[in-house]
Chain A
Protein backbone atom coordinates (compact mmCIF):
# COMPACT_ATOMS: atom_id res chain seq x y z
CA UNK A 1 0.00 0.00 0.00
CA UNK A 2 2.63 2.54 1.04
CA UNK A 3 5.49 0.95 -0.89
CA UNK A 4 7.70 3.58 -2.50
CA UNK A 5 7.73 3.72 -6.31
CA UNK A 6 10.39 1.45 -7.77
CA UNK A 7 11.80 4.30 -9.85
CA UNK A 8 12.75 6.18 -6.67
CA UNK A 9 15.94 4.18 -6.85
CA UNK A 10 17.16 5.94 -9.97
CA UNK A 11 15.08 9.08 -10.59
CA UNK A 12 16.29 12.20 -8.79
CA UNK A 13 13.31 13.67 -6.89
CA UNK A 14 12.20 17.18 -7.69
CA UNK A 15 14.07 19.86 -5.81
CA UNK A 16 17.07 17.61 -5.12
CA UNK A 17 20.43 18.41 -6.69
CA UNK A 18 22.10 15.61 -8.67
CA UNK A 19 25.57 16.57 -7.46
CA UNK A 20 26.29 18.61 -4.37
CA UNK A 21 29.72 19.71 -3.30
CA UNK A 22 31.07 20.22 0.16
CA UNK A 23 34.52 21.51 1.03
CA UNK A 24 36.38 19.95 3.89
CA UNK A 25 36.49 22.39 6.77
CA UNK A 26 39.87 21.26 8.07
CA UNK A 27 41.92 20.19 5.07
CA UNK A 28 42.49 22.50 2.14
CA UNK A 29 41.98 21.00 -1.32
CA UNK A 30 39.77 18.26 0.04
CA UNK A 31 36.08 17.93 -0.67
CA UNK A 32 33.16 15.53 -0.85
CA UNK A 33 30.77 15.24 -3.77
CA UNK A 34 27.39 13.72 -3.04
CA UNK A 35 25.95 12.20 -6.19
CA UNK A 36 22.24 11.39 -5.95
CA UNK A 37 20.78 8.23 -7.48
CA UNK A 38 24.08 6.72 -8.59
CA UNK A 39 25.96 3.60 -7.46
CA UNK A 40 29.12 1.59 -8.11
CA UNK A 41 28.68 1.97 -11.88
CA UNK A 42 29.63 5.65 -11.71
CA UNK A 43 31.47 5.63 -8.36
CA UNK A 44 34.10 3.12 -9.30
CA UNK A 45 35.02 4.48 -12.74
CA UNK A 46 35.28 8.00 -11.28
CA UNK A 47 37.51 6.76 -8.49
CA UNK A 48 39.81 4.83 -10.84
CA UNK A 49 40.02 7.73 -13.29
CA UNK A 50 40.88 10.11 -10.43
CA UNK A 51 43.73 7.77 -9.42
CA UNK A 52 45.32 8.40 -12.82
CA UNK A 53 45.71 12.08 -11.94
CA UNK A 54 49.05 12.64 -10.14
CA UNK A 55 47.66 15.75 -8.45
CA UNK A 56 45.06 13.63 -6.70
CA UNK A 57 46.36 12.54 -3.30
CA UNK A 58 43.23 10.64 -2.35
CA UNK A 59 40.12 9.60 -4.20
CA UNK A 60 37.49 7.24 -2.89
CA UNK A 61 33.78 6.65 -2.99
CA UNK A 62 31.24 4.99 -0.77
CA UNK A 63 27.67 3.85 -1.03
CA UNK A 64 26.60 4.76 2.52
CA UNK A 65 23.63 2.41 2.68
CA UNK A 66 21.85 0.22 0.10
CA UNK A 67 18.57 2.03 0.79
CA UNK A 68 20.09 5.49 0.44
CA UNK A 69 20.37 5.87 -3.29
CA UNK A 70 23.46 8.04 -3.42
CA UNK A 71 27.23 7.84 -3.43
CA UNK A 72 29.80 10.07 -1.79
CA UNK A 73 33.00 10.75 -3.71
CA UNK A 74 35.82 12.18 -1.66
CA UNK A 75 38.82 13.86 -3.30
CA UNK A 76 41.98 15.35 -1.84
CA UNK A 77 44.43 17.04 -4.21
CA UNK A 78 47.76 18.84 -4.11
CA UNK A 79 47.84 22.63 -4.25
CA UNK A 80 48.50 22.30 -7.99
CA UNK A 81 44.88 21.28 -8.49
CA UNK A 82 41.54 21.33 -6.70
CA UNK A 83 38.93 18.66 -6.00
CA UNK A 84 36.56 20.36 -8.40
CA UNK A 85 39.15 20.56 -11.16
CA UNK A 86 40.13 16.92 -10.68
CA UNK A 87 36.48 15.82 -10.67
CA UNK A 88 35.70 17.71 -13.88
CA UNK A 89 38.84 16.39 -15.53
CA UNK A 90 37.97 12.81 -14.59
CA UNK A 91 34.44 13.13 -16.00
CA UNK A 92 35.76 14.71 -19.22
CA UNK A 93 38.44 12.05 -19.66
CA UNK A 94 35.94 9.23 -19.14
CA UNK A 95 33.56 10.85 -21.59
CA UNK A 96 36.32 11.05 -24.21
CA UNK A 97 37.37 7.48 -23.47
CA UNK A 98 33.84 6.31 -24.17
CA UNK A 99 33.73 8.32 -27.40
CA UNK A 100 36.92 6.58 -28.43
CA UNK A 101 35.57 3.18 -27.38
CA UNK A 102 32.37 3.71 -29.35
CA UNK A 103 34.30 4.57 -32.51
CA UNK A 104 36.61 1.59 -31.97
CA UNK A 105 33.67 -0.76 -31.51
CA UNK A 106 31.80 0.58 -34.52
CA UNK A 107 34.89 0.29 -36.73
CA UNK A 108 35.41 -3.27 -35.57
CA UNK A 109 31.74 -4.02 -36.18
CA UNK A 110 31.94 -2.68 -39.73
CA UNK A 111 35.08 -4.71 -40.37
CA UNK A 112 33.46 -7.81 -38.93
CA UNK A 113 30.28 -7.55 -41.01
CA UNK A 114 32.35 -7.12 -44.18
CA UNK A 115 34.43 -10.19 -43.47
CA UNK A 116 31.54 -12.54 -42.78
Chain B
Protein backbone atom coordinates (compact mmCIF):
# COMPACT_ATOMS: atom_id res chain seq x y z
CA UNK B 1 0.00 0.00 0.00
CA UNK B 2 1.41 3.39 -1.04
CA UNK B 3 1.24 6.62 0.89
CA UNK B 4 1.27 10.23 -0.25
CA UNK B 5 1.31 13.60 1.43
CA UNK B 6 -1.55 15.99 0.81
CA UNK B 7 -1.67 19.39 2.57
CA UNK B 8 1.00 18.20 4.98
CA UNK B 9 -0.85 15.03 5.97
CA UNK B 10 0.47 11.60 5.02
CA UNK B 11 -2.35 9.35 3.89
CA UNK B 12 -2.61 5.81 2.56
CA UNK B 13 -3.76 5.40 -1.03
CA UNK B 14 -4.37 2.46 -3.36
CA UNK B 15 -2.84 2.15 -6.82
CA UNK B 16 -5.68 4.19 -8.36
CA UNK B 17 -5.14 7.04 -5.90
CA UNK B 18 -8.18 6.37 -3.71
CA UNK B 19 -7.57 6.94 0.00
CA UNK B 20 -7.99 3.72 1.91
CA UNK B 21 -8.59 5.09 5.39
CA UNK B 22 -11.53 7.56 5.52
CA UNK B 23 -10.39 8.67 9.01
CA UNK B 24 -7.26 10.28 7.51
CA UNK B 25 -9.39 12.68 5.43
CA UNK B 26 -10.10 16.34 6.16
CA UNK B 27 -11.69 19.22 4.27
CA UNK B 28 -8.37 20.67 3.07
CA UNK B 29 -7.51 17.34 1.54
CA UNK B 30 -10.88 17.38 -0.25
CA UNK B 31 -10.12 20.79 -1.76
CA UNK B 32 -6.73 19.58 -2.99
CA UNK B 33 -8.06 16.29 -4.40
CA UNK B 34 -10.89 18.19 -6.14
CA UNK B 35 -8.32 20.36 -7.92
CA UNK B 36 -6.54 17.22 -9.12
CA UNK B 37 -9.88 16.05 -10.52
CA UNK B 38 -10.32 19.31 -12.39
CA UNK B 39 -12.76 20.96 -9.98
CA UNK B 40 -11.31 24.39 -9.16
CA UNK B 41 -13.71 25.32 -6.40
CA UNK B 42 -15.98 23.32 -4.12
CA UNK B 43 -19.38 25.08 -3.91
CA UNK B 44 -22.00 24.49 -1.18
CA UNK B 45 -23.69 21.94 -3.45
CA UNK B 46 -20.40 20.06 -3.87
CA UNK B 47 -20.14 19.94 -0.08
CA UNK B 48 -23.72 18.77 0.24
CA UNK B 49 -22.84 15.76 -1.90
CA UNK B 50 -19.49 15.16 -0.16
CA UNK B 51 -21.08 15.32 3.30
CA UNK B 52 -23.83 12.96 2.23
CA UNK B 53 -21.29 10.47 0.84
CA UNK B 54 -19.17 10.58 3.99
CA UNK B 55 -22.24 9.88 6.12
CA UNK B 56 -23.55 7.18 3.83
CA UNK B 57 -20.15 5.42 3.82
CA UNK B 58 -19.90 5.68 7.59
CA UNK B 59 -23.09 3.65 7.99
CA UNK B 60 -22.82 1.26 5.04
CA UNK B 61 -19.04 0.83 4.95
CA UNK B 62 -18.81 1.59 1.23
CA UNK B 63 -18.87 4.59 -1.10
CA UNK B 64 -22.44 5.15 -2.39
CA UNK B 65 -23.62 4.65 -5.97
CA UNK B 66 -25.05 7.48 -8.09
CA UNK B 67 -28.55 6.31 -7.34
CA UNK B 68 -27.93 6.31 -3.59
CA UNK B 69 -26.46 9.81 -3.79
CA UNK B 70 -29.34 11.29 -5.78
CA UNK B 71 -32.08 9.66 -3.73
CA UNK B 72 -30.41 10.57 -0.44
CA UNK B 73 -28.99 14.05 -1.01
CA UNK B 74 -31.77 15.67 -3.05
CA UNK B 75 -29.32 16.55 -5.85
CA UNK B 76 -30.58 15.46 -9.30
CA UNK B 77 -28.52 13.13 -11.47
CA UNK B 78 -28.13 15.88 -14.06
CA UNK B 79 -26.77 18.30 -11.45
CA UNK B 80 -24.51 15.63 -10.00
CA UNK B 81 -22.94 15.21 -13.44
CA UNK B 82 -22.39 18.94 -13.77
CA UNK B 83 -20.86 19.16 -10.27
CA UNK B 84 -18.59 16.14 -10.76
CA UNK B 85 -18.28 15.65 -14.53
CA UNK B 86 -17.62 12.16 -16.00
CA UNK B 87 -18.14 9.40 -13.48
CA UNK B 88 -19.52 11.36 -10.50
CA UNK B 89 -19.72 8.38 -8.12
CA UNK B 90 -16.03 7.67 -8.58
CA UNK B 91 -15.01 11.31 -8.42
CA UNK B 92 -16.96 12.09 -5.27
CA UNK B 93 -15.62 8.96 -3.61
CA UNK B 94 -12.08 10.03 -4.38
CA UNK B 95 -12.54 13.59 -3.15
CA UNK B 96 -14.38 12.39 -0.04
CA UNK B 97 -11.52 10.08 0.92
CA UNK B 98 -13.58 6.93 0.47
CA UNK B 99 -12.53 3.79 -1.38
CA UNK B 100 -13.53 3.20 -5.00
CA UNK B 101 -17.29 2.53 -5.21
CA UNK B 102 -17.96 -1.17 -5.72
CA UNK B 103 -20.99 -0.31 -7.86
CA UNK B 104 -21.46 -3.63 -9.44
CA UNK B 105 -19.77 -6.94 -9.82
Whether A and B are associated in the same complex: the answer reads no
